[in-house]
């Protein structure tokens, strides 16, 4: 059974790829997140990875190809449907809307933080890179039925959701708040764990107000 993707660094460490390829990926992730994709050259990636540019192009056709390899596993697991692990954990919550939203907010915020460098690259590229945007939209289409079965239906079974709320509306409300808070806490300002948890609780309350009857 496919395991749920949780941490990009773990994926790099456990994946069966040549050492040089891993070093290039790690260096690219670090540089893209700090300098931006357009502000990073393959020469800088080569220097940071300890590999030659020839080695980079041995594994990747172009800098854009390297970007896609970095973001693909993240895009694959933005919506937590793989291996039904997320759905299993969700089903273990007390079956009321507040507890389920608490779990979703905590789980997805944790996922973003665990992969914060790659997430910041993805967010920046979604604004300017049509291919990345198309990949994300296609992935949402691909997993829509699975998401509805494993996550949306359990939420509806609580009987607490607004009757006029659909899956798209739900995702818009939840995703926008979690991502904005992630950017705020990870890039705009620093916060300790206690302050972060207070903020997440406020997000849960805000989401509930928007989606419950």
Greater confidence, 105 or 13? Answer: 105
Report, as an integer, the average pLDDT of 123-151.
86
Report, as an integer, the average pLDDT of 105-119.
89
pLDDT in tens, 8-25: 666 666 677 888 888 898
Q: How many helices (H) and strands (E) does the chain have?
A: 12, 0
Mean pLDDT taken over the chain: 85
pLDDT in tens, 23-49: 898 899 889 988 999 999 999 999 999
pLDDT in tens, 81-99: 544 566 666 666 667 899 9
Q: For residue 28, what are the contacts with CB-CB under 8 A and spacing of at least 6?
A: 40, 45, 49, 66, 67, 70
CB burial readout 157-195, b (16+ within 10 A) else e: ebebbeeebeeeebbebbeebbeebbeebbeeeeeeeee
Q: What is the pLDDT of residue 5?
A: 47
């Amino acid at each position: 059974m496919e395991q749920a993707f949780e941490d990009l660094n773990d994926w790099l460490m456990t994946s069966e790829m040549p050492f040089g390829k891993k070093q290039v990926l790690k260096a690219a992730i670090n540089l893209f997140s700090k300098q931006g994709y357009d502000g990073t050259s393959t020469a800088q990636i080569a220097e940071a990875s300890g590999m030659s540019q020839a080695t980079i192009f041995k594994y990747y056709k172009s800098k854009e190809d390297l970007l896609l390899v970095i973001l693909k596993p993240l895009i694959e697991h933005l919506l937590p449907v793989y291996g039904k692990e997320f759905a299993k954990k969700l089903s273990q919550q007390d079956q009321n809307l507040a507890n389920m939203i608490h779990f979703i907010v905590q789980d997805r915020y944790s996922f973003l933080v665990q992969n914060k460098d790659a997430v910041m690259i993805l967010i920046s590229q979604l604004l300017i890179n049509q291919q990345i945007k198309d990949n994300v939209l296609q992935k949402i289409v691909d997993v829509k039925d699975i998401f509805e079965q494993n996550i949306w239906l359990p939420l509806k079974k609580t009987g607490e959701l607004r009757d006029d709320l659909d899956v798209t509306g739900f995702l818009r409300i939840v995703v926008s708040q979690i991502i904005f808070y992630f950017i705020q806490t990870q890039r705009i300002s620093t916060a300790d764990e206690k302050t972060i948890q207070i903020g997440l609780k406020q997000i849960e309350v805000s989401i509930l107000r928007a989606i419950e009857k």
